[in-house]
Amino acid sequence: MKTIDVCLSPELLPLYSLEDKTVVVVDILRATSCMVTAFAFGAESIQPIANLDECRKMKDRGYIISGERDGKKVDGFDKGNSPFEYMGDQVRGQKIAFTTTNGTQAIEKSKQAREIIVGSFLNLSSVVRYLLFSRNNILIVCAGWKGKVNLEDSLFAGALVEKLKNHIEPDCDAPLIAQNLYNQSKSNLLGILETSSHVKRLNRLNIHKDIAFCLTEDKYHVVPKLVNNSLVC
């Protein structure tokens, strides 16, 4: 039986072997939710970039540049980190260069994996289906908040473990902790997230609407995948 494990913070990645894994990178608030939304609205590709200056340079190469630090859009960038900026015709057929506080760093640190896909509540069932058909062992990499474990990414990891439970075997205790958390909270994800430190931080930025949206399950059916350093669908 395939195994599933959860890395609750990118700081713990050195403890995991990545070579045989399909890694699911998760940054619910809001990087991976934005990425999934952009592909649902026809973006051509998203290049995750860990460094702010490198991302800025992509503008001259025809990319939309998207950047967030500490929850706020970066000055001079085309877009920030709200999924509502990636809807309608704004991104159709476009290449996007994307840098965020946590999500794009998590992708960067996972690059030794056999393959990397992007997960969010918005494409939960599509990710589940993808993983069911993949032959690789699974590692969910939670982006967290500046290295620390966070509630929303752990909840999503728990949702994946729960939905895959009849087909995979937990490799360690983190999947059990996440699954337990999700099962207790699934009827009121928004309510439990109101207690999280990151949401308190984001509420100060007045993005309650974003948060509710990022917790919506199965709105889209895309599974972004990293190919030659760019996410494509």
Binding stretches for its own copies (CB under 8 A): 8-9, 11-12, 14-15, 145-151, 154, 170-174, 176-177, 180-181, 184-185, 192, 195-198
Which residue lies nearer to its own copies by CB, 125 or 180?
180
Task: Give the whole-angstrom CA distance, residue 33 versus residue 130.
Answer: 17
What distances in angstroms separate CA 111 from CA 12, 107, 217, one per listed residue?
14, 6, 27
Those residues whose C-beta lies under 8 Å from the C-beta of residue 158, and which sit 6 or more positions away, are 177, 178, 179, 180, 181, 182, 183
Kindly tell me which of 82 and 150 has the beta carbon lying closer to its own copies. Answer: 150
Question: Nearer Cβ to its own copies, position 149 or 190?
Answer: 149
In the bound state with its own copies, the residue whose beta carbon lies nearer, of 49 and 199, is: 199
Q: How far is the CB of 137 from its own copies (least distance, A)?
A: 15
Q: How far is the CB of 195 from its own copies (least distance, A)?
A: 6
Contact between residue 34 and residue 83 where contact means Cβ atoms under 8 Å apart: yes
* Count of beta carbons in the 10 Å neighbourhood of residue 1: 8
How far is CA 26 from each of CA 14, 38, 59, 61, rounded to the nearest angstrom? Answer: 17, 15, 26, 28
Q: How far is the CB of 219 from its own copies (least distance, A)?
A: 24
- Closest contact distance (angstroms) between CB of 7 and its own copies is 9
